[in-house]
Structures are given as C-alpha cells and as structure tokens.
Amino acid sequence: MSAPDARRLEELSLNSSSPPGQLVYDGWLVRLSPGKAKRARSVNAVYPSSLPLAEKIGYCERLYAARDLPALFRLTPFSQPPALDRELESRGYHRFDVTAVEAAPIAAPGAGDPGVEPMALDDWVGAVASLRGSPESHRRGHLARLDGMPLAKRAVAIRSDGSIVATGLTLVEDDCAGLFDIVTHEAERRRGHARRIVAGLLAAAWELGARHAYLQVQQENSGARSLYSQFGFEERYSYWYRGREAQA
C-alpha cells in the first residue's frame, strides 16, 4: 500500500491515543481522560463545524472545569476552523510543546536482537511509570487507555543487571505502525538502548504486518530526531498545544 499522507497520519495518531473518556462535539473531539498524556485530555478540532467559535470554546472550558482539568487545545495544520489558533491566542492561551510527526517506510528486518524482549502490557506500563517517575494514577490511566485499544500492539523493554532500563511500544493499524513510549533511564542514556528499542519496534511492526511507521517527537529534541532520521524518519507535519499560563 502507498505511504499514508499527513491527514491519514493524524487519524492514526488520534486512534492510537484514544482514551476511555471522550465526546464528539460539533466536529471537535473532546478528550477528558485525566493523566500525564495531553493527547488524552485535550480538544482536537478535527472536522468542520457550524456553531459560533466563541460558543464552542466556552462549552469546552466548562466541560474541563467540571472535571477539574485544565482546558487544553491540540492544534494541527488541519484544525477547524482555521481561525481557532488565532482566537485561542487572543484569549490568553499560549502555545507550547510543538511536536513533529515523522514517518518512514519499514525495511524488512534482519536478525533479531534477543536483548529487546516483549513484555506483558500490565508489567510494561509499570516499568514505563517507574522510568518516568509517574504517580499511580497516571499508570492506571495509561494502562486503561492501552488495554482498551482495539489495535495490535507489542510492548518491549531492555534490561541491564536485571532492571528495565529502556522501553518502547508499537501500535499497528492497517499497514501503519506508531512508535510510542521510547523511554530510557537517565543513567543509561547514550549507550545505544534507544536505537535498539526502535529497531526492535520496527521489526515487531513488520511481523504484525506494518510497512510504514510514524512517531511523534518534540521539535527541539535534536538528539532523538537525529536517531530517528537514521531509520529514515522525516517530518510530515507538526502539532502544538494551547493552554492558559497556569494550566499548561
């Protein structure tokens, strides 16, 4: 199949981050799942709509306030209406966490790396939480989101002296694989673990039928982007968040 275009990559990204709690409101996907992942607790203005913009923003703000969550908006080049970004800025929502969505074809894998081991999802989520220092509530939310997702998935990790030092996850939809949660213990960085994790995830994705891959990386993370470029990843578009100063 042909490589996915930018709009299809956005659909895949939304599907792969789908939380248990979300609403569709006049063309906007409103996600209300508490936790660390902003993709799971932000407004995604996906489709054209008919209601006045001020009315829609106010409605979303009330929804988040009722759940004691900050009102966050995730913006892309495809957000509808096009005036949304400018309107949010005028209301005091500042722009942050600009993220590049990169994509690459997947090459047929060579010999496998036995040190990149698959893990049961529950144990793996616990390992990711430990590496990130996440609270128990974030771990539970992460597991609930992934466990309820109707996509093929493979969670992997690398151990050193018996302890997990790096993790990664691939989620496969159609012939496209998303790479997520590529995390390395701070004391174990610059030892090639991330490279091995990416190679292992791409091999697992190939095994699951994927021939194209995508990932999301903060735009200023030059180290990670340099690594991903060695696997053929190139930026296809970017997205960013808007939130109020005290809520970001």
Print pLDDT tens along the chain (248 aa): 678 888 888 888 888 877 777 888 999 999 988 777 898 899 999 988 899 999 999 999 999 999 999 999 999 999 999 999 999 999 999 999 999 999 999 999 887 899 999 999 999 999 999 999 988 988 888 898 888 888 999 999 999 999 999 999 999 999 999 999 999 999 999 999 999 999 999 999 999 999 999 999 999 999 999 999 999 999 999 999 999 965 55
Q: Are the C-beta atoms of 128 and 92 separated by less than 8 Å?
A: no
Rg (the chain; Cα; Å): 18
pLDDT, residue 36, reads 78
Which residue has tokens 């939380």?
A: 19
CATH numbers and ranges of domains, the chain: 6-100+240-244 (no CATH), 107-210 (3.40.630.30)
Our measurement of the distance from residue 56's CA atom to the centroid of its chain's CA atoms, rounded to an integer in Å, reads 25
pLDDT, residue 245, reads 65
pLDDT, residue 244, reads 92
Cα distance between residue 146 and residue 34, in whole Å: 14
* 69 burial via Cβ count (<10 Å: 0-12, 13-18, 19+): middle
DSSP 4-61: P-HHHHHHHHHHHT--SSEEEETTEEEE---SS-GGGSSEEE-S---S-HHHHHHHHH
* Residue partners of 67: CB distance under 8 A and separation at least 6: 32, 34
What's the token pair of residue 234?
A: 């190139």
Cα distance between residue 235 and residue 219, in whole Å: 9
pLDDT, residue 171, reads 97
What's the token pair of residue 236?
A: 């296809």
What's the token pair of residue 31?
A: 């996600």
pLDDT, residue 248, reads 52
